[in-house]
Amino acid sequence: MLLLRCHLKRALPQKVSCRFCAVMGKLQSKFKHSTYKYSRPDGFIEEKIQTKAFQEYSPAHVDTVSVVAALNSDLCVSGGKDKTAVAYNWRTGNVVKRFKGHEREITKIACIYKSSQFFSASRDKMVMMWDLQSSSQPRQQFSGHTMVVTGLTVSPDSSQLCTGSRDNTLLLWDVGTGQCAERASVSRNLVTHLCWVPREHYILQTSEDKTIRLWDSRGLQVAHTFPTQQHIQTYCEVSEDGHKCVSCSSGFEGEGCEATLWDLRQTRSRICEYRGHFQTVASCIFLPRALASMPAIATSSHDCKVKIWNQDTGACLFTLSLDGSGPLTSLAVADSVSLLCVSFSRGIHLLRVDRSQGLELREVAAF
């Protein structure tokens, strides 16, 4: 029997052997170990490791991904160090279209939701407007910043675009003409993110000067400045009803690393804080009620973890560890049960919420 095995091994063609290994590798990639923590009803935090079905899709980018945003319930748009914006069908795992025009890394993406149009900002100081239904060339270009563009948001009626930069300025643009309508500058205001308040004239902005500002787009004036924080404010988002906003901060070894919920309408004061990450929190988003069945917030951090929080109490409901992914840099709602998360090392992760046994979050695909 031993002699027969030796003869078979020598006789097996190298191509068949390689093909067999490739098939086995592909099968192994269908399963993945996930580490997660969840809060039981008695308050105990339990940690589990499970092996779940997992799909490795074709990569969206050939280099590190920086940002992802949802274009509609099937498509997302991402950008990164390969200078390319990619429209991707995350349900099928297929690239829909690639858009090339920037000369350096893409830093921000802003989509006109449920349309075919979106904007990209870059380290090349440019902002470009693209249309999925037209050519791969930009429909409009916006040039006015002198440093990397780090903030990008579209007005609710899609007629205006606001951009921010490390050059301390905010610019307000007419989308139709590509002309700059307003310019504002604040000393040391190194913009990290911008978010337009739904159905309002106001724009929320975070900064490296540890400040959160609310701008009135009518004249581009600061309408309110929130209390200065202890750490750099990295990101912000406004709730769908426009009543609340959430911001998050830089940090290290648990110092800082928090997200903060603010009142936007009356007192404009701090409502709640969410603490539990151990490195910079890079993104924070409101979750749709259908996704979490309660008011909830999700955060992603450089500590490789995505956390879901009870918006009202600040309790951490679930923690998903994307081990080996590197820092997590961007987070977006894909549909009523799915999130998209960008990591430094592994591209874009598709996460799914499962409420069959309480609230759980698991990784189901990566691209």
Q: Is residue 106 part of a domain?
A: yes
Total domains in the fold of the chain: 2
The answer to whether the CB of 126 falls within 8 A of the CB of 151 is no
Are 228 and 101 found together in one domain?
Answer: no
Pull the structure tokens for residue 270: 């701090």
What string of DSSP letters covers 171-235?
EEEETTT--EEEEEE-TT--EEEEEEPTTSSEEEEEETTS-EEEEETTTTEEEEEPPP-SS-EEE
Average pLDDT of the residues in 128-156? 96
pLDDT band (50, 70, 90) for residue 3: very low
Q: What are the tens digits of pLDDT across the range 94-112? A: 999 999 999 999 999 999 9
Q: What are the tens digits of pLDDT across the range 189-202? A: 999 999 999 999 99
Of 253 and 29, the one with more pLDDT? 253
Q: Is residue 20 part of a domain?
A: no
The tally of CA atoms less than 13 A away on the side-chain side of residue 253 is 0
Cross-strand partners of 362:
352
The helix/strand count (H/E) of the chain reads as 3, 33
The answer to whether the CB of 345 falls within 8 A of the CB of 359 is no
pLDDT band (50, 70, 90) for residue 39: low
Average pLDDT of the residues in 25-48? 49
In a 3-state reduction of DSSP, which class is residue 10?
helix
Question: Which of 19-28, 86-95, 248-257, 323-332 is the least confident region?
Answer: 19-28
Which element (helix H / strand E) includes 292?
Answer: helix 289-292
Strands 244-249 and 251-252: unpaired
The tally of CA atoms less than 13 A away on the side-chain side of residue 79 is 26
Q: Is residue 15 part of a domain?
A: no
Average pLDDT of the residues in 359-363? 92
Question: Tell me, what's the pLDDT at 135?
Answer: 87
- Please determine, for residue 214, whether its predicted confidence score (pLDDT) is greater than 60: yes
Residue among 313, 347, 334 nearest 39 (CA): 313
The answer to whether the CB of 203 falls within 8 A of the CB of 185 is no
Are 97 and 165 found together in one domain?
Answer: no
Are 125 and 159 found together in one domain?
Answer: no
- Chain-centroid distance of CA 186 in Å reads 27
Question: Which of 4-8, 72-76, 138-142, 299-303 is the least confident region?
Answer: 4-8
Residue with tokens 């409502």: 271
- Please determine, for residue 236, whether its predicted confidence score (pLDDT) is greater than 90: yes
Are 338 and 197 found together in one domain?
Answer: yes
Question: Tell me, what's the pLDDT at 239?
Answer: 97
Q: Is residue 351 part of a domain?
A: yes
Question: Tell me, what's the pLDDT at 1?
Answer: 40
Q: What are the tens digits of pLDDT across the range 7-29? A: 433 343 443 333 333 333 333 44
The CB density around residue 360, as the number of other CB atoms within 10 Å, is 19
Task: For residue 167, give the CATH number of its domain.
Answer: 2.130.10.10
User: Alpha-carbon distance 319 to 247, whole Å?
Assistant: 19
**Of the candidates 89, 117, 143, which is a domain's last residue?**
143
Are 171 and 277 found together in one domain?
Answer: yes
The answer to whether the CB of 125 falls within 8 A of the CB of 143 is yes
**Of the candidates 121, 143, 165, which is a domain's last residue?**
143
Are 325 and 233 found together in one domain?
Answer: yes
Q: Is residue 120 part of a domain?
A: yes
Question: Which of 12-21, 72-81, 122-131, 146-155 is the least confident region?
Answer: 12-21
The answer to whether the CB of 199 falls within 8 A of the CB of 156 is yes
Average pLDDT of the residues in 126-152? 96
The answer to whether the CB of 306 falls within 8 A of the CB of 343 is no
Task: For residue 124, give the CATH number of its domain.
Answer: 2.40.10.480
Q: What are the tens digits of pLDDT across the range 258-278? A: 999 999 988 889 999 999 999
Q: Is residue 288 part of a domain?
A: yes
User: Alpha-carbon distance 4 to 161, whole Å?
Assistant: 72
Are 65 and 212 found together in one domain?
Answer: no
**Of the candidates 78, 108, 143, which is a domain's last residue?**
143
The CB density around residue 93, as the number of other CB atoms within 10 Å, is 16
Are 258 and 182 found together in one domain?
Answer: yes
The CB density around residue 127, as the number of other CB atoms within 10 Å, is 27
Are 279 and 337 found together in one domain?
Answer: yes
Prediction pTM value = 0.86
- Please determine, for residue 337, whether its predicted confidence score (pLDDT) is greater than 80: yes
For residue 114, the enclosing domain spans 55-143
Say if residue 25 is exposed, middle or buried (CB neighbours under 10 Å; 0-12, 13-18, 19+): exposed
How does the average pLDDT of the chain come out, rounded? 89
Are 233 and 311 found together in one domain?
Answer: yes
pLDDT band (50, 70, 90) for residue 51: low
Provide the b/e sequence for 226-240 (b: ≥16 CB within 10 Å).
Answer: beebebbbbbbbbbe
Instruction: Determine phi and psi for 15, rounding to 5 degrees.
Output: -65, -40
| Cβ within 8 Å of residue 335, ≥6 positions away | 73
Residue with tokens 């990591």: 343
Q: Is residue 279 part of a domain?
A: yes
- Chain-centroid distance of CA 207 in Å reads 18
